[in-house]
A = this chain, B = another copy of it.
Amino acid sequence: MIKITETMDSIFSDRIIDVPRSFIREILKVALDPTVISFAGGLPNRELFPAEELKAATSKVFDIYGRDIFQYSNSEGYPELREYISERYRQKKKLDIPVENILITNGSQQGLDLLGKVLINDGDGLIIEEPGYLGAIQAFSIYKAEFLPVPVGEEGMNIKKLRSVITRKNPKLMYTVPTFQNPSGICYSESNRLEITEILKGARTLLIEDDPYGDLRFSGDHKQSFKALLPDNTVLLGSFSKVVVPGFRLGWIVAPDRLMKKLVIAKQAADLHTSYFTQCVMYQYLKDNDIDAHIKKIIQVYGKQQHAMLESIERYFPSDVGYTRPEGGMFLWATLPEYVTSLELFELAVKDKVIFVPGDPFYVNRSGTNTLRLSFSCVDAATIKTGIRRLGKAIDELLT
């Protein structure tokens, strides 16, 4: 008898052996020390959760729905919630998305898993941003995609590199978070989006547009969704995690009919359906409250904190450290001179009781060792100032 308790890797599937474990989650353990100032988390600010409103919505849901919310239900998700999402796309983004093309998922992370499941064969090419979202790298690693990194900068994707990858590899998929990307905070410019659209029109590549942060804009103009630019070959992912709460695990996929059929089968096999209880509570909350007013509150807080972070960086970081100036979202991205690494900086900074996420896990080839992600969502302006001052001191120490 072979025991799984013994040292034996052969029982595991090939797909699971190489998945990178989230370094971020490891870092979060250090963050438990309350004297440490953490720019490491990727969490939305808990003080902004509409706790009372959700409590009221829950109480109503028990009265309105009775026992129905406790029963098994359909794999596509609660129709009223999908109708709400459809209507909001129409009103806010001028996107016409029928309810039938919306599938509710356990956060957009499950959207990535389901898309990987129904689309990726071993070795299928997948364009990923560099730096790119770690959760997507993990999810698509499972299905053994061949990652084709394309660098992103303040303006968006590197067009020359994108064109070259498409020409050389004609990959099946491209994954992008074009608006206030995790980890860099950047938002693709309008012209960058149009150039990407032109390139993809001539390719067989299916675009996965992940948009969890799009509503959190502090400044600048709304940019067109790829779903509007390339309606027939874009799959759009959305989430309630950043605008309401992440703990309910509620997101969605927008996909064309034929793909949706396959996604529903994959969803059935994955967990039958997402909890109807949480879906109904979310719907009731959205129905009874002004979500735009709520989002405005989040934007005010995050915007103020980001402003404090940028001001402090200007003041306390040496001038040869680069950084992004995002117009929204929860993160910004700093680049140290190439002769040092952010892991060395981390060692120094943690002694000064300030932490961040080193950037290399966001590169599929683990380059970008001189980059780091700074989150401003959960730290107030005064603490940000103290934290960035400490971090600036650590950078000075490292560079001299």
Contacts and interface: CB of A to CB of B under 8 A. Distances in A.
Interface in A122-163: 124, 135, 138-139, 141-143
A398 interface: no
Contacts of A272: 107, 109, 135, 249
Given A3-B233, A256-B5, A277-B248, A269 B204 contact: no
A66 interface: yes
Contact of A4 (B19, B232, B247, B275): B232
Contacts of A69: 247
Interface string A96-120: 0000000001110110010001111
Contacts of A3: 232-233, 256
Interface stretch (A44-52, A217-225, A323-331): A44-52
B14 A233 contact: no
A334 interface: no
Interface residues of A, number: 91
Contacts of A382: none
Interface stretch (A82-90, A258-266, A355-363): A258-266
B142 A266 contact: yes
Interface stretch (A195-203, A288-296, A312-320): A195-203
B22 A270 contact: no
Given A13-B121, A70-B247, A142 B269 contact: yes
**Chain B CB within 10 A, most for which of A15, A70, A203:** A70
Given A246-B71, A270-B113, A277-B247, A5 B62 contact: no
Contacts of A13: 117-121, 124, 143
Contacts of A51: 62, 66-67, 70
Interface in A18-69: 19, 21-22, 25, 42-44, 46-47, 49, 51, 54-55, 58-59, 62, 66-69
B269 A70 contact: no
Give the oligomeric copy count: 2
Contacts of A247: 69-73, 275-277
A232 B21 CA distance: 25
A248 to B, nearest CB: 6
A347 interface: no
A128 to B, nearest CB: 15
B233 A1 contact: yes
B4 A270 contact: no
A7 to B, nearest CB: 8
A55 B62 contact: yes
A257 interface: yes
A372 interface: no
A278 interface: yes
A245 interface: yes
A25 B109 contact: no
A193 B345 CA distance: 58
A151 B118 CA distance: 31
Interface of A: 1-5, 7, 11-16, 19, 21-22, 25, 42-44, 46-47, 49, 51, 54-55, 58-59, 62, 66-73, 75, 105-107, 109-110, 113, 117-121, 124, 135, 138-139, 141-143, 172, 200-204, 206, 230, 232-233, 235, 241, 245-249, 255-259, 262, 265-266, 268-278
Given A106-B274, A139-B269, 7 more contacts: A4-B233, A43-B72, A49-B67, A51-B62, A55-B62, A69-B247, A72-B241
Ranked 3 nearest A-B pairs via Cβ: A70-B245, A106-B271, A110-B271
